[in-house]
Structure 1
Amino acid sequence: MAGKKSNCYFDAYIELAECTRKEAVLLNDYINQFDLNQMDDMLTKMHELETSADRMKHEMMDRLAKEFITPIEREDIYQLFNEIESVSDAIEDILIKMHIFCISTIREEAKQFAAILLKSCDVLKQMMIEFPNFKKSEKLHDYIVEINDLEEEGDRLYASSIHGMFSTSGDPIDLMRWTETLDRFEKSCDAIEHVAIVVESVIMNNI
């Protein structure tokens, strides 16, 4: 029974990571098959996934408040749930910004960013599947490095995209729309890296 109690947190991390992955799939598919008429439907689906992640986090927080023995430090459990749920929020925010700014055509950079974000969420889920073995895992470090590499790829894409737009576009409204939207993509990659940082901290504290 004690093992099941310990596993519930690790299982919830995987479920949360899967929610973010589904959001990234939804966003990637929508951007690559862009149809403005589907925006309202996409917003509804995205919000359902974000709400599911938020509800799952709060359920685990309630459980954590009632337990005396936890598999890792309580602060680490709490922070990790918050960081993964923040990824869910950040991905939803991309679609919300696209809606707010009435984006009607998709830039190639957005497709590239959506692919990076989807790959990052895939690795995030794999990292959380491996996380229960953090004391002896040889794979976790590789996942952390891969997430860091993807975040850096996102940083480079963001910098080159913004530079390219300001170098070629004469439309200030279009510049504002896409600067804000691509910023949300970059922040989503940052949010995933923050999860990896917490995982790395847990490993270091338990060597």
Structure 2
Amino acid sequence: MSLNSIFQYFVPKDKKTFFPLFEQAASNVVAMSTVLVEAVNSNNPATREELFRQIDKLENKGDELTHQVYLELGKNFITPFDREDIHTLATAIDDIADYIHGAANRMNLYKIDDYNEHIKKLSELILQAANDLEKAVRELKDLRNVRAIADSCIRINSVENQADYVFDRAVADLFLYETDAIRLIKYKEILSALETATDMCEDAANVMESILIKNA
């Protein structure tokens, strides 16, 4: 066997490994975010419950994709970029899914039937960040397109800043106007999970920006 043949054996088949898995994981987060927005804007309890079940199934799918990335890391000797960055990006995308799922779970378990403007706005911001995340991830396989990836990351950072403001305003309103302590705790936990989902989007964007710098 020639040296070239040996080298080719260790080079990952990118079209069948990391990049498609990242793209599927990012698309899965968009799907979860879309269903979340539908759920918080629905006035039908049965419809909401079904949408929450969909989020649960999508979160399981995300876990499977993340696990597959970890398996591929163990199988491939040479990777398209740093192994640590691949692991960190996969984990960051999975964390977004986890917090969306966590927020939806709390809404369902706490029997929340009044989704205020703050919950709806944070859900919309998560979807906005998820869409930009998907755009950036799809460009990763061609690192020459630095501008497109960087622009998406900048937009994600902007969304996270907006989410911080919405969260702070929402919590302030809770302490000002909510007189039921249990209800206050329920809403604060839901709002916190939603806001953290945008933090995780920013973390994923930071990983991609790091990849750009290392591969410039």
Please classify the TM superposition score into its range, dividing by the shorter chain length: over 0.9
Which of 116, 133, 140 does residue 142 from structure 2 map onto?
133
Matched residues in 1 for 2:69 and 2:179: separation? Answer: 49
Equivalents in 1 of 2:30, 2:99: separation in Å? 12
- Structure having greater relative contact order (Cα 8 Å, sep ≥ 6): 1
1:5 to 9, 13, 16: 13
* Aligned AA (1:96): N
Greater radius of gyration (CA)? 2
Asked whether the equivalents of residues 76 and 202 of structure 1 are also in contact (C-alpha less than 8 Å), the reply is: yes
Q: Which residue in the other structure is 1:195 paired with?
A: 204
How far does the alpha carbon of each residue in 1:6-59 deviate from its partner, in whole angstroms, 9 at most, with x for none? 232111111100000000000101111132223442232111111111111112
User: Is the deviation greater in 123-132 or in 134-143?
Assistant: 134-143
- The answer as to 2:25 corresponding to 1:16 is yes
Aligned letter for 2:91? N
TM-score, normalised to structure 1's length? 0.94
Please say if 1:49 is aligned against 2:58: yes
The corresponding residue for 2:94 is 85
Which residue is equivalent to 1:100?
A: 109
Structure 1 residue 135: Cα displacement: 4.2
Match of 1:38 among 37, 47, 57: 47
Unaligned stretches of 5+ residues in structure 2: 1-7
Per the TM alignment, residue 90 of structure 1 is displaced from its structure 2 partner at its CA by 1.0
Count of residue pairs the alignment pairs up: 207
C-alpha distance in 2, partners of 1:147/1:136?
Answer: 17
Structure 1 distance, partners of 2:63, 2:135, is 20
- Give the % identical residues: 24
SS in 1 for 2:101: helix
Unaligned runs of 5+ in 1: none
Comparing 140-149 with 166-175, greater Cα deviation is found at 166-175
- What is the match of residue 129 of structure 2? 120
